[in-house]
Structure 1
Amino acid sequence: MIAKVSRGRHLGGLLRYLFGPGRANEHIDPHLVGAWDTGWLPEGVFAADLEQRGGLARLARMLDAPRVAHDMPVNGGHVYHVPISLPSDDGRLSDATWRKLVHEAVVSMGFQHCRWVAVHHGRSAQGNDHVHLVVNLVDEHGQVVNTYRDWPRWRRWCRWTEQRMNLTPTAPAGAGRKATSRAEIDRARREGRHVTDRYELRRVVHSAAAHARTELEFFEQLRTHGVRFRPRTDRAGRLIGYSVALTDDHRRPRLWLAGSSLRRDLSLPRLQARWRSHPLSARPDITAAQQLRFHLDAATDELRGYLQQSGHTAEHWHAAAQDVANLTVIAANWNPPLSLVADHLAMAAQPPQRRDERLRTLGVVLPTIVEAGYLAVASGPLGLLMATLIFTIFALVTALIAAIEHYQIHASAQRHVAQAHRWLSMQPAAHTAPVPETLESTPQPKVTRSPTVSSQSRRRLPPALQLRRASPQQHRAPRR
């Protein structure tokens, strides 16, 4: 739950906007859910006035009456406007619930002697259910209400409401991922795109980070995906951050976004912590596909053993979910719908609050699963290997769900991991155990290339795999 405070001087103009169509025609059913005088509510004696010409003007005059009567000037404006919104995952609250919450907020903030209304007009353009609280800061006695340090008080009230109503907890500033702005949505619509730059960059950067082991590999992956990047260094020349942008038709960057604004785990310090903690290396005596099979067979047992270790907290569960999300985003190279599963798992991996530095930089906690992701890039999980990968991811997500109650995972993460599990459960491969293979299975046949087949094959392969293809001399047809 988020409350944003603004001040102004024009009650009439604000009410006309709240009861109007909105900037994006999102005001579907504007109506009052709370007021200082219940006569203005839908079942009250003044309700019919709002449907008539001049009704809003009368409501504005009644709201503004104490200030006008006492002729009280207010620095910064006497109109106190607070949109109170929920994340889209929490759905929609009833008018009765909003009425109760707004009354509690008015009392908590010390506005009980003021005149106020709360307007509900449906979800926002981003799908968030919300109400608008409008308060006249001049109370009935002609005194101006003290709003000193109102933002921390609103924050405490929102956190308290989240806890007692089991709503999605909102983290402090800079945590989780930044919401898409209305300007970004409008720009995507004007250009005929179905997703915003922020959403697409979040998906591509997550995939690039999962494929990479170092900063150089990460930036090379971004370049392969056609993403412009801009490293950020300190005065000593050390790399401390980065920004990314998609390009327009003229190859010019459209909108620069910092990695940390895409999602908290995509900030450079968090990525560096993961890359530094990568512990395994490939075995030269067997193929990448055989190594992948070996790692996938051990992945579920590794996760279950990790979650059963004593002394682990909810932050360790979130770190495990991040490793599973990275494996899923790599699999999405060959099965694009898996990117939605990866996004849900990545959001489930975000802790609700920042903890100490050690827990925020746990890095890789499931080395076998992380190594399986790198091997998938090297081997190309097609056919039976793709089915094996989906089966393993489904088992990993099931293990995460089984540990939710023990670790007391917050409601938002539960919803995201449940969405991922629901999508995976609809895949036939998730319920069919793959045929076991030994490490001594038949080696993969050599690839014979021709100019025509080469260009077609390269288009079918994901960008990450194209970087690891061998040179043409290694794929020449055998002499007869």
Structure 2
Amino acid sequence: MIVKVSAQGGRLALGSHMPGLIRYLVGPGRANEHTDPHLVASSEVMAQAFAGSEWDARKTGDLVRVLDGDWRKARRAAGLPVVAMQDESTVPGPVRAAHVLHVSLSLHRDEGRLSDEQWAAIASDYVEAMGFTASSGKARSQWAAFRHGLSRQGNDHIHLVVSMVREDGTRASEWQMFARSRRAADEIEARYGLRRVKDDAAERGLPGYTGAEAAKATRQGREEPDRFQVARRLRAAAAVSDGEAEFVRSARMAGLLVRPRFAPGGTGEVIGFAAAIRPQDGQSPVWFAGGTLDRNLALPRLRERWEQTEEATQEALGEWRKANTAWQVRARSQAAVTARGLAGPEWTELPGVNIPLEAARDIARVNRQLAEVELGDRGAWTRAAQEAAGVFATWSVATEGDRPGPLARASDALARSAQPWRGSAEAPVLKPGMAGRHLRLLTRAGSDRPGTGWTAVMRQVDATVTAIHQAHEARGELVRAGYIAAQAQEGLDGIRAELAAGTPDPAMSAGSAKGSTPAAPRWVRQPARHHDPHRPGPESAPGSRDGSRDHGR
């Protein structure tokens, strides 16, 4: 079961306007996607008192007054209006404006639908496990569960709305809200036989995205929120870099703005960083700290990849300062932004070298090494998944650009598989190895014949993904195994189909005719010159805002 608790920048985000949320849930939706909006469960008898799918202003208002009643009572007792004021930063405790918890509980798309009675039982179990009912030994909170049809992606789901002010005027606990929510979901999955999203409580996933991020992507015509593009480009930059300085340059070449977080007291030490997609005209960049996208993208974790010498540290510091100055100067000057898109590094000719075939040979060597790894060695398999995610990310950035395709899906699935388990020792990061030096050639110099050798590459990558999937399965980690099968293998299937439809791969034929050039798969974009981060020109829109407050991870 997929559970999403209202959040902003990775932190709990409580709402302050109950009427607006309720009107949305019982209304037609932003694109008339809501059908048959109705209550399936609630505290007291609200579900019966407000039955049916017909909602007029009076019925909606009456429901709001019940759900919001305890908060409004506490506000009046404190001499405050029942409508939140513009600035309430100094208002304390239960009466402060932010008091509306919004949670969605969703099935996977292929799990079908539940009945209203089943959803009612799940909603009741969830709020009880979260401590919002009288069974907690404290006064209860008012809550209601809404159902209004399938999501745009076809998922059966409900929305829970909870007032964080209890009947006695005290405040419900916000402590460890996300962890408590996940534990409640784990219990519900086991109780009702729903598909799990984790193999056990120690598993970590990748951070999710907010509704606002999804809405922004839709408005801008993007297929996914920015955070996925940023994470993928950072993985690619890490995969092709043999040092921290090169990582900074590679991230900027991949279409990202980067800014360092300096240690207190000056600019002599970098302890973290944030990255953002270069914005379109007149817009501000949205920054994401590396560690909030993926634990393996936190700067301390990335540094484990590279040899740490005084010379390398100083070179990296110089690159961080250049990157920091680049966006700051343009923000201060209020320069207009030239929309460049998200093209990857340019393809140029590298005579005498078949880059994909060399990469395939490197990956084949890794596969031979994996064949000797014990299935129970979770650390080794986690490292393999991390390295494979970087390889896929590199190819995705270089060939798919800002339109995520099968390579992007495979990279994301492998990145999830590579997340370290909670409570276990962090597995050491692999040094650049899996096609590392050849990937650098692929993206920096590359080949003007990007179709050449792809069959050999994909055969070896297929073997890597299959081995990782089987290792998860053998250890009983069926959720991770299933995710790899559904996402990474789906991506590989698409690639194989396109390669099979093309001309034979001369990289696999010793006697291929000179100059023979197979057509590149459709997901390989055409050569495009990419922005040089050292060339003068605007990089950033005026101002900025953060997708994460912590730039140090």
User: TM-score, normalised on structure 2?
Assistant: 0.62
Identical counterparts, % of pairs: 26
- Figure out how many residues of one structure are paired with residues of the other and give that number: 435
Look up the match of 2:465: 397
**AA aligned opposite 2:126:** A
Look up the match of 2:23: 16
Look up the match of 2:159: 132
Shift of the 54–205 alpha-carbon distance from structure 1 to 2, 3 Å rule, reads same
In structure 2, C-alpha distance between the alignment counterparts of 1:228 and 1:65, rounded to whole Å: 47
Alpha-carbon deviation of 1:118? 1.0
Look up the match of 1:220: 249
Look up the match of 1:234: 263
Question: Which of residues 94, 101, 105 in structure 2 aligns to 1:81?
Answer: 101
In structure 1, C-alpha distance between the alignment counterparts of 2:486 and 2:53, rounded to whole Å: 46
Contact 2:126–2:188, Cα closer than 8 Å, also in 1: no
Question: Which of residues 206, 229, 234 in structure 2 aligns to 1:205?
Answer: 234
Look up the match of 1:329: 393
**AA aligned opposite 1:325:** A
Contact 1:213–1:275, Cα closer than 8 Å, also in 2: yes
Alpha-carbon deviation of 1:104? 1.0
Find out whether 1:111 has 2:151 as its counterpart: no
Contact 1:219–1:229, Cα closer than 8 Å, also in 2: yes
**AA aligned opposite 1:272:** R
Larger Rg: 1
Alpha-carbon deviation of 1:111? 0.8
User: TM-score, normalised on structure 1?
Assistant: 0.70
Question: Which of residues 314, 319, 325 in structure 1 aligns to 2:383?
Answer: 319
Provide, for residues 274-333 of structure 1, a one-character-per-residue CA deviation record: whole Å limited to 9, x for no partner. Answer: 2349xxxxxxxxx98478646634634633642652374434323211212222233336
Look up the match of 2:294: 263
Structure 1 residues not aligned, in runs of 5+? 278-286, 446-458, 468-480
**Higher helix content, 1 or 2:** 1
Contact 2:19–2:64, Cα closer than 8 Å, also in 1: yes
Look up the match of 2:416: 348
Write out aligned runs for 1:37-436 (5 A): 40=47, 47-48=51-52, 50-51=54-55, 54-60=58-64, 76-77=94-95, 81-86=101-106, 94=114, 95-108=116-129, 109=131, 111-112=133-134, 114=140, 116-122=143-149, 130-135=157-162, 143=168, 147-148=172-173, 151=177, 153-161=180-188, 165-169=194-198, 176-191=205-220, 193=222, 195-235=224-264, 237-248=268-279, 254-276=285-307, 289=353, 293=357, 296-297=360-361, 299-300=363-364, 302-303=366-367, 305-306=369-370, 308-310=372-374, 312-332=376-396, 335-336=399-400, 337-351=405-419, 353-359=421-427, 361-364=428-431, 367-371=433-437, 373-374=439-440, 376-377=442-443, 380=447, 382-409=450-477, 411=479, 414-426=482-494, 427-428=496-497, 429=499, 436=508
Shift of the 64–122 alpha-carbon distance from structure 1 to 2, 3 Å rule, reads same
Contact 1:341–1:423, Cα closer than 8 Å, also in 2: yes
Q: Secondary structure at the match of 2:41?
A: strand
Shift of the 332–462 alpha-carbon distance from structure 1 to 2, 3 Å rule, reads farther
**AA aligned opposite 1:104:** D
Look up the match of 2:527: 460
Contact 1:260–1:267, Cα closer than 8 Å, also in 2: yes
In structure 2, C-alpha distance between the alignment counterparts of 1:188 and 1:214, rounded to whole Å: 33
The root-mean-square deviation of aligned C-alpha atoms, in Å, is 4.9
Alpha-carbon deviation of 1:430? 7.1
Contact 2:26–2:55, Cα closer than 8 Å, also in 1: no
Provide, for residues 389-446 of structure 1, a one-character-per-residue CA deviation record: whole Å limited to 9, x for no partner. Answer: 12222222222222221133352563244322123224244799987578xx99999x
Q: Secondary structure at the match of 1:117?
A: strand
**AA aligned opposite 2:40:** V
Shift of the 86–317 alpha-carbon distance from structure 1 to 2, 3 Å rule, reads farther
Shift of the 239–293 alpha-carbon distance from structure 1 to 2, 3 Å rule, reads same
